[in-house]
Amino acid sequence: MKILALDSSGLVASVAVMENDTLVAEYTMNYKKTHSQTLLPMLDEIKNNIQVDLSSIDAIAVAAGPGSFTGLRIGSATAKGLGLALDKPLIAVPTVDALAYNLYDTGEDTVVCPIMDARRNQVYTGIYRFTDHQLKVVEDQMAVPMETVIEKLNQYGEAVTFLGDGVPVFHELIAEKMTVPYSFAPAHVNKQRAAAVAALGEIYYRQGKTETAMEHVPDYLRVSQAERERAEREAAKADADS
């Protein structure tokens, strides 16, 4: 089985190819360029370096959200375009699940909490643990204030490992408010990696969790700023008219 994986859901852009439980190639960049500039050139470089014929892949796994609205649209459009061109199924992998999977087999007495900066003092997050070598969702993906996440974790009363681009943003708040032991994942596993998307994607593929390129839509979890502002303008206009 050969899986192509893409993740452009956050600050990081990442592309990977996994074949029969072996990570054949991964290209990850966390630098000052937009994903529209980096994702396809990264894919092209991997394709050329490992001499893979994209028509030989079985499926395309993509980080399906939540995350950056622009980043998700770029990843989704790339995956859909490849899926349509190659006539291959897509595997929608929840972004926060894939982030948690970076810390595979953390002890059962520790919960994993990815936090992605969602602006407006909110994070995209979820709460996970590993049981019997499998990722278990304790609380599903959500967009909530960081204070709410900390309250939930304190109530669980277990050690927590944080990761994600929300860590530097909320580091001080975590230090101030957490009452249970906590730690932060090291640099090589604390951001999005297409390898994790591919690994989870392979599991989902075997479970039949695929979709066509036409069916795929990103999971934004909340409306964009532009949509919020439009709704506010329309509400204000309706109030004025009444």
Q: What is the mean pLDDT of residues 28-36?
A: 88
> In the predicted model, is pLDDT for residue 239 greater than 70?
no
CA distance 189 to 186: 6
Confidence of residue 242 (pLDDT cuts 50, 70, 90): low
Q: Which of these, 117, 65, 71, lies nearest to 95 by C-alpha position? A: 65
pLDDT average, residue stretch 137-161: 97
pTM here? 0.90
> Strand pairing partners for 27?
15
Over range 31-37, report the average pLDDT. 85
pLDDT score recorded for residue 33: 79
pLDDT average, residue stretch 55-79: 96
pLDDT at residue 225 is higher than 90: no
User: Among 33-37, 186-190, 234-238, whose mean pLDDT is lowest?
Assistant: 234-238
Which residues have C-beta within 8 Å of that of residue 192, sequence separation ≥ 6? 7, 9, 10, 12, 14, 63, 95, 98, 99
What is the band of 226 on the pLDDT scale with cuts at 50, 70, 90?
Answer: very low
Instruction: Please say if the pLDDT value at position 235 is more than 90.
Output: no
Q: Is the pLDDT of residue 53 over 80?
A: yes
Strands 122-131 and 134-145: antiparallel
Segments in the chain forming alpha helices (H): 35-50, 69-86, 95-101, 146-156, 167-177, 194-206, 225-241
**Is the predicted pLDDT of residue 79 greater than 70, yes or no?**
yes
Give the contacts of 153 (CB within 8 A, at least 6 positions apart).
111, 113, 127, 160, 178, 180, 182
Quickly state the pLDDT bin for 240 (edges 50, 70, 90): low
Q: Cα(166)–Cα(170) distance, rounded to whole angstroms?
A: 6
Q: Is residue 144 over pLDDT 70?
A: yes
Can you spell out the DSSP letters for 85-133?
HHT--EEEE-HHHHHHHTTTT--TTEEEEEEEE-STTEEEEEEEEEETT
- pLDDT over 50 (residue 113): yes
CA–CA distance, 196 with 198 (Å, rounded to integer): 5
**Residue range 90-108: average pLDDT?**
95
For residue 236, pLDDT beyond 70? no
Q: Is the pLDDT of residue 41 over 80?
A: yes
Determine the Cα–Cα distance for residues 153 and 29; give it in Å rounded to an integer: 31
Tell me how many degrees the CA angle 210-11-189 measures, rounded to the nearest 5.
75
pLDDT, residue 187, reads: 96
Tokens at residue 207, please? 């479970």
| Mean per-residue pLDDT over the chain, rounded | 92
Q: Is the pLDDT of residue 32 over 90?
A: no
Q: What is the mean pLDDT of residues 62-78?
A: 95
Mean pLDDT in residue range 18-22? 94
Q: Are the C-beta atoms of 182 and 159 separated by less than 8 Å?
A: yes
Separation between Cα atoms, residue 154 and residue 127, nearest integer Å: 12
- Rounded to whole angstroms, how far apart are CA atoms 225 and 202? 34
